[in-house]
Structure 1
Amino acid sequence: MPRSQRNDNFVDQTFTVIADTILKLFPASQREKEAFAYYRDGMSAQGDGEYAEALSNYEEALKLEDNAYDRSYILYNMGLIFASNGDHDKALEHYHQAIDLNPRLPQALNNIAVIYHYKGEQSEDEEAAEEFFTQAAEYWVRAVRIAPNNYIEAQNWLKTTGRADINVFF
C-alpha cells in the first residue's frame, strides 16, 4: 500500500487529499504524476524517519522525473538523508548534483558548506583543514548571495574569520 494511503494524522491526511486533488486537476502527464507521487511518499517517509523507504521512493521519482528543477529537490532531499546518516561524501555528491541542476538552491549550497566546515574542524592536518574551510566559505558566500537574510551564523563566521568582506552581502 502506498504511503500516501497510510497516513494516520489529520495534517498528513489533509495534505494528501489536497495534493491528490491538485494532481488530478493539474495538466500533467501520467509519468509526471507518478514521479510526484513517489516524491510525496518519499517526503512523508523521510519525515517519519523511514530513510530507506524515503530513498527508495526518491530513486523511483528520479527515474520518472524529467524536469531539472524538480530533480534538484529530489537529489537535495536524498542528500539530507545521507548527511543525517553521517555519509558526508554521498551527501556532497547529491548536493552537487542538485546544484548542477539548480544553481539557485541556497539550502544545498549551505549544506555543502556545513559539511566542508565540519570536515575542516575534524581534520588534524592544518593544511587540509584550511582547504576545507576555504571551500566552506566559497559555498556560504554563494548561499548568502542568493538568500542574504538567511544563514546568519555563516555570515558571522565569514566576517569574523576574514573570509568575506562585510559589504559583500549588502
Structure 2
Amino acid sequence: MPRTQRNDNFIDKSFTVMADILLKILPANQKAKEAFVYYRDGMSAQAEGEYAEALENYNEALKLEEDPTDRSYILYNMGLIYASNGERDRALEYYHQAIELNPRMPSALNNIAVIYHYEGEKAKEAGQPQEAEAFFDKAAEYWKQAIRLAPNNYIEAQNWLKTTGRSEMDVYF
C-alpha cells in the first residue's frame, strides 16, 4: 500500500490532498510528477522515523528528478537521515552533493558545520588539540557561508564564531 494511503493524522492527510491537487495542475512532465510522489513519500516516512523506507523513496526520486534544485533537497534529506543515524561521513557526502547542485542552501552548510564542530569537540576531549582546531576551523568556514546566506538563522553559530575569534563578520539584522 503506498504511503500516501496510510497517513493517519489530519495534517498528513491534508498535505497529501494538497500535494495531489498540485501534481494535477502543475505543468510538469510525468517523470517530474513521479519524482515528487517518491519525494513526498520519502518525507512522510522520514517524519515517522522510517528511515529505510525514506531512503528507498529518495533513491527512486533521484532516478527520476532532473531539476538540480529539487535533487539538492532530496540529497539534503538523505544527509539528514545519515546524520541522525550517526553516519556523519556519509551525511557529509550527501550535504556536499546538495551544495554542489544548490550552493544557496544554508541549512546544508550549517549541518556540515555542526558535524565538523562535533568532530572538533571529540578531538578536543581525546586530547588532540591540533586536530580539534582543524575541525573547528572547517566548521567556522561553513558557518560563515551559511550566515552570509541566512544572517538571522544561526545566532548561536555567530556567537561561537565571535567568542572563538574565528569571525570578523558583522551581521546586521
- Is the shorter-chain TM-score for this pair beyond 0.5, marking a shared fold? yes
More deviation, 2-11/74-83: 2-11
Distance 1:88 1:72 in 2: 18
Distance 2:110 2:59 in 1: 23
What is the match of residue 84 of structure 2?
84
Distance 2:45 2:99 in 1: 24
Query: 1:5 offset after TM fit, Å?
Result: 1.2
Distance 1:21 1:78 in 2: 26
Distance 2:57 2:165 in 1: 43
Distance 1:155 1:14 in 2: 37
Is the aligned partner of 1:129 residue 2:132?
A: yes
Structure 2 letter corresponding to 1:103: P
TM-score w.r.t. length of structure 1 = 0.98
Q: Unpaired runs of 5+ in structure 2? A: none
Is the aligned partner of 1:145 residue 2:148?
A: yes
Post-superposition Cα deviations, 1:107-151, rounded to whole Å, max 9, x if no partner, equal 000000000000000013211111100000000000000000011
Q: Unpaired runs of 5+ in structure 1? A: none
Distance 1:70 1:166 in 2: 31
Name the SS for the 2:66 alignment partner. Answer: coil
Name the SS for the 1:7 alignment partner. Answer: coil
RMSD of the TM alignment (CA)? 0.7
Q: In the TM superposition, what are the counterparts of 1:14-163 in structure 2 within 5 Å?
A: 14-123=14-123, 124=126, 125-163=128-166
Distance 2:31 2:10 in 1: 28
Distance 1:10 1:116 in 2: 38
Distance 2:57 2:102 in 1: 21
Query: 1:166 offset after TM fit, Å?
Result: 4.3
Distance 1:62 1:144 in 2: 28
Structure 1 letter corresponding to 2:36: F
Q: Percent identity?
A: 70
Query: 1:83 offset after TM fit, Å?
Result: 0.2
Query: 1:49 offset after TM fit, Å?
Result: 0.4
Distance 1:45 1:9 in 2: 13
Name the SS for the 1:148 alignment partner. Answer: coil
Distance 1:2 1:131 in 2: 46
Distance 2:72 2:36 in 1: 13
Query: 1:152 offset after TM fit, Å?
Result: 0.5
